[in-house]
């Protein structure tokens, strides 16, 4: 093992994230000791092409077999290509691609072999971040909240605030930066609020052959179908107390709810469903947050952001307002978590995944 990993000082860690939107791989460097953030380094992005996205989409919901193996090859090759372009780092955090997530059933499965990636990069790799949490009764998601706590400290926040990740699924982290650390009682509450970009992306892909509703242009021309929105909010998931988590396709029936609508109205309704799920989720916060900082691709959608501002009782801003990078926050999170795993620090707690005690998951694979 790199001797520096076992010491107390900051490491130069490279994190990578391939999210449920299936758009590509984000990668980012963070300098951290697993507690504090000392600085942010270079970033990179490697898009999946149409063929690769088709392979990944075909493997969603698969736990093994030929489709899952094909997806793993796409994920590993794309990550190796992107991560090899970075300079020297001490450690890599490799999330992989979530194909299936059933924390109360078969567990959780992220395609991609970190041991193979360690050999390809000739660098230690931390991976399989979620399995230990699920095995101990947790939801296995979301995992970014410990990093969000560090970010709240880094920006100098004094009062509770929320980080809202608008990826394929939307997840919310309520942070009290005044607590002793992320694992302290009352420091964090985190959970998935509902679908975000995934159903809208799927709709636009199926109907128009486009990857997303660029800039919310389609939704901006439509009207929200109130009946479909009401049926969506009647789902039992919203009544469950957090922590709680979702698989990418748990709300696949949303597409059916808007199936008879014109393209613009369907897009507007799916966008409103995302905002409504977040508004419902905010009711679970222990105290009202001072602000909501949005990250992920959904923050680029002005229709969604305006719906959130109308629905919530506090300012809603992209994380860039406080000097963070909303395109790379998830990748940065897995760089930060990789250091915590390598140093034996917890990565989840009862307030983030519902696990019974502090858990430090993940596998550390060394080259050679």
The per-residue DSSP string of 320-362 comes to GGGT--TTTHHHHHHHHHHHHHHTT---B-HHHH--SS-B---
Q: Of 23, 55, 16, give the one whose Cα is nearest residue 198.
A: 23
Can you tell me the distance from the alpha carbon of 287 to that of 293, in angstroms, rounded to the nearest whole number? Answer: 16
Same fold, 3-142+328-365 and 156-322: yes
In contact, 78 and 18? CB cutoff 8 Å: yes
In contact, 28 and 49? CB cutoff 8 Å: no
| Token digits of residue 122 | 């000739």
Instruction: Count CA within 13 A, CB hemisphere, residue 139.
Output: 21
What pLDDT shows up at residue 368? 86
Rounded to 5°, the CA angle 116-120-125 comes to: 60
As a 3-state breakdown, the chain gives helix, strand, coil percent values, each rounded to 5, of 40, 20, 40
| Token digits of residue 338 | 């990789």
State the residue for tokens 């093992």. 1
128: left (phi over 0), alpha (psi -120 to 50) or beta: left
Phi, psi of 355, deg, nearest 5: -65, 155
Phi, psi of 177, deg, nearest 5: -70, -5
- Per-domain residue ranges for the chain? 3-142+328-365, 156-322
What pLDDT shows up at residue 253? 79
What pLDDT shows up at residue 244? 87
3-state secondary structure of 294: strand
Second-level CATH architecture of 156-322: 2-Layer Sandwich (3.30)
What pLDDT shows up at residue 22? 84
> Going by C-beta distance under 8 Å and a sequence separation of 6 or more, which residues neighbour residue 43?
26, 27, 28, 29, 325, 327, 328, 331
Can you tell me the distance from the alpha carbon of 334 to that of 326, in angstroms, rounded to the nearest whole number? Answer: 14
With b for 16 or more beta-carbon neighbours within 10 A and e for fewer, the 50-87 pattern comes to eebbebbeebbbbeeeebbebbbebbbebbbebbeebe
**Residue 272 host element (H or E):** helix 263-282
Please tell me the pTM assigned to this model: 0.93
Can you tell me the distance from the alpha carbon of 278 to that of 61, in angstroms, rounded to the nearest whole number? Answer: 25
DSSP-derived secondary structure letter, 235: S
Which CATH class for the 3-142+328-365 domain? alpha beta
Can you tell me the distance from the alpha carbon of 352 to that of 341, in angstroms, rounded to the nearest whole number? Answer: 16
- Each residue's pLDDT tens digit, 169-227: 899 999 999 999 999 999 999 999 999 998 999 899 999 999 899 999 999 999 999 99
3-state secondary structure of 100: strand
Residues of the chain falling short of pLDDT 50: none
In contact, 200 and 175? CB cutoff 8 Å: no
């Amino acid at each position: 093992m790199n001797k520096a990993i076992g010491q107390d000082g900051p490491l130069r860690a490279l994190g990578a994230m391939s999210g449920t939107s299936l758009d590509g791989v984000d990668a980012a460097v963070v300098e951290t000791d697993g507690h504090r953030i000392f600085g942010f380094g270079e970033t990179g992005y490697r898009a999946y092409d149409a063929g690769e996205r088709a392979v990944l989409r075909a493997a969603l919901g698969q736990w093994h077999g030929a489709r899952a193996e094909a997806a793993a090859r796409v994920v590993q090759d794309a990550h190796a290509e992107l991560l090899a372009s970075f300079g020297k780092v001490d450690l890599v955090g490799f999330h992989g691609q979530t194909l299936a997530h059933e924390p109360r059933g078969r567990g959780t499965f992220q395609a991609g072999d970190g041991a193979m990636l360690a050999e390809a990069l000739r660098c230690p790799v931390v991976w399989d971040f979620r399995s230990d949490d699920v095995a101990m009764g947790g939801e296995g998601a979301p995992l970014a909240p410990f990093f969000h706590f560090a970010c709240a400290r880094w920006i100098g926040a004094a009062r509770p605030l929320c980080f809202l990740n608008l990826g394929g699924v939307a997840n919310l982290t309520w942070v009290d930066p005044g607590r002793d650390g992320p694992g302290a009682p009352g420091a964090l509450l985190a959970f998935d609020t509902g679908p975000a970009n995934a159903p809208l992306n799927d709709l636009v892909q199926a109907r128009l052959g486009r990857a997303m509703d660029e800039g919310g242009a389609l939704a901006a021309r439509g009207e929200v179908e109130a009946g479909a929105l009401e049926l969506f909010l009647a789902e039992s998931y919203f009544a469950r107390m957090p922590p709680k988590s979702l698989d990418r396709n748990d709300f696949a029936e949303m597409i059916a709810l808007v199936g008879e609508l014109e393209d613009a109205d369907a897009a507007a309704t799916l966008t409103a469903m995302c905002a409504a799920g977040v508004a419902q989720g905010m009711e679970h916060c222990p105290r009202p947050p001072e602000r909501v900082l949005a990250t992920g691709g959904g923050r680029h959608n002005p229709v969604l952001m305006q719906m959130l501002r109308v629905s919530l009782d506090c300012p809603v801003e992209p994380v860039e307002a406080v000097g963070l990078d909303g395109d790379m926050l998830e990748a940065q999170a897995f760089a930060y978590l990789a250091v915590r795993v390598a140093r034996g620090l917890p990565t989840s707690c009862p307030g983030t995944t519902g696990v019974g005690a502090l858990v430090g998951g993940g596998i550390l694979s060394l080259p050679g």
